[in-house]
Structure 1
Amino acid sequence: MTILPTGIPAFRATPKTLRCVQQGPVLHVELNRPDEGNAVTDDVLDELHEVLRTQDPSVRVLVLSGAGEDFCLGGDRSEFGDHLAHDSSGAGIRASGVRARQVCDALSNNPAVTVARVQGRAVGAGFALALACDLRVGAENASFRLPELALGLPVAWGGLLPRLINEVGPARVREIVLSGRAVEAREAFDLSILQRIVPAGELDEAVAAWVRPVLRRPAAAVRVTRTLLQAYGSAARQGDLSFLDAELMSGVLSQAHLAARER
């Protein structure tokens, strides 16, 4: 369980699906739906986007975490069904996909250094949110999985695939995606999905150990260097088609929905 520091609420309007606390230059954003495995819904995406959009300029480190036993068990598939029931063309799913990309891009291009604090499972959308952060520390029980193919879905959410290929390499990503198996903490570290593994009780100290030196560095130097790192990383992702994620997801699901109705 995440122990957030004593501080002030980060925003005037209290989010319903998040817990946000800003303490000086550090903003803690916790996915706060533990009874649902912190599953990502449109409401979660809207609130995350609003938090990132209105982020205080004084924030120099943003820590993303999840309440309860798991970081995030992925997208709420029941919401996909609701979207298709309302509009079988997949317009609602496309809109959700656009939100997902906006949130992940806001994490990747954030002016602050972003840290993912991962315990338990990070599945699908949860994997994507963690991967969008600069630094990722995991508990020894952390695991990552992309079960989309088994669910009849493309791996097309928030620009996950190009980021993963850039961090891990295409051959290993093919195996992870096509097998749908879980990547446990030690392997995740070896693949650079995680940059550090610690016992669950030491996650907060591990985060603090990264935060302290960042705050000691001149803010402008950190900000410019982070921008350079993002730019060079993006340059290595030639042929990035993740802007099509929303179209691909909606197209596959709407076709499956129509086929099911015709049977």
Structure 2
Amino acid sequence: MNVLPLAQRSSEPPGAEQILKTLRTRRQGPLLTVELNVPEEGNAVTDAMLDDLLTVLDHQDPEVRVLVLAAAGDDFCLGGDRDEFAEHLAHDPSGSGVRASGIRARRVCDALTANPAVTVARVQGRAIGAGLALALACDLRVGADTATFRLPELALGLPTAWGGLLPRLISEAGAARVRDIILTGRVVDAAEAGTLSILQRVVPEDSLDAAVADLVRPVLRRPGPALRVTKTLLNSFTAATRLADASVLDPEIMTAVLTEQRRVRPAT
């Protein structure tokens, strides 16, 4: 898989790779690949992963034109680490840890969306909850025909309030369809994800890397200044159709729900 490092200097050799605690990156000229790299945990999103992602995104070389967000193992991402949420609440029942985690999540997803480079999600296996949010924060999404998507938060007693997921999903898939997906918690397969624009391209799993390369190749040839301005314009027009985006309150909403549930139903 083609993957990229934080901010590569010109002195670094092509294909230079860097391994962080939860990520692996590789830089190849104007292409940066960032791979979620905790496959034994289903690439579950933790505070450590959010911190690693922020480190990469905050120090990204301005010469990068395309960033591919990929994942090691069978699944793209199985969502947020609920054990870590429970630890946050056990440490501070007021929810300060949950709130801080939610703020990190929002910063990561916003950094992907507002990234000066074109961001591409490469999705295989399951993308659940926070995993779907990370993919939706990218400009383009390519998925294997075996990929599936699910938002089980409601069944877990959680609001759909992580990283600005809800307005992005409504913008891409439409409000009526999103109600169905969230309220039922059902699995969305790759074919349906394609019709909902959750995925823009669906390919056989063994063709996933080739499909990403085909998508990325022409984008890498575009002049950098025009590419950055065009992406900014696309983001601006998309944001204008949302009228209001209450997802800035996601950390507060998640904190309020979790702390209230803990108060009503104390952990045993």
Alignment of 1:121 with 2:121, yes or no, is no
Superposed CA deviations along residues 29-82 of structure 1, whole A, max 9, x for unmatched, are 000000000000000001001100000111100000111000000000000100
1:78 counterpart SS class: helix
Alignment of 1:243 with 2:251, yes or no, is no
1:28 counterpart SS class: strand
Counterpart pick for 2:190 among 166, 176, 185: 185
Q: Name the counterpart of 1:133.
A: 138
Where has structure 1 moved over 3 Å in runs of 4 or more?
A: 2-6
Segments of structure 1 that go 5 or more residues without pairing to the other structure are: none
With the length of structure 1 as denominator, give the TM-score of the two structures.
Answer: 0.96
User: Which amino acid is 1:247 matched to?
Assistant: E
Counterpart pick for 1:66 among 68, 71, 75: 71
Q: Name the counterpart of 1:9.
A: 17
Alignment of 1:18 with 2:23, yes or no, is yes
- Kept in 1, the 8 Å contact 2:3–2:27? The answer is no
Counterpart pick for 2:204 among 199, 204, 216: 199
- Give the whole-Å Cα distance in 2 for the aligned partners of 1:31 and 1:258: 34
- How big is the shift at 1:9? 2.6
Segments of structure 2 that go 5 or more residues without pairing to the other structure are: 5-13
Q: How does 1:87-102 map to 2 (within 5 A)?
A: 87-102=92-107
1:261 counterpart SS class: coil
The percent of aligned pairs where both chains have the same amino acid is 65
The CA RMSD over aligned residues, in Å, is 1.4
Choose 211-220 or 87-96, whichever is displaced more.
211-220
1:70 counterpart SS class: coil
Superposed CA deviations along residues 59-118 of structure 1, whole A, max 9, x for unmatched, are 100000111000000000000100000000111000000000000000000000000000
Superposed CA deviations along residues 190-216 of structure 1, whole A, max 9, x for unmatched, are 000000011111111111111111111
With the length of structure 2 as denominator, give the TM-score of the two structures.
Answer: 0.94
Q: Name the counterpart of 2:32.
A: 27
- Give the whole-Å Cα distance in 2 for the aligned partners of 1:111 and 1:153: 32
User: Which amino acid is 1:223 matched to?
Assistant: R
Q: Name the counterpart of 2:175.
A: 170
- Give the whole-Å Cα distance in 2 for the aligned partners of 1:145 and 1:67: 19
- Give the whole-Å Cα distance in 2 for the aligned partners of 1:39 and 1:227: 30
Number of residue pairs matched? 259
- Give the whole-Å Cα distance in 2 for the aligned partners of 1:156 and 1:254: 15
- How big is the shift at 1:217? 1.5
Alignment of 1:112 with 2:110, yes or no, is no
- Kept in 1, the 8 Å contact 2:3–2:32? The answer is no
- Give the whole-Å Cα distance in 1 for the aligned partners of 2:61 and 2:34: 13
Q: Name the counterpart of 2:155.
A: 150
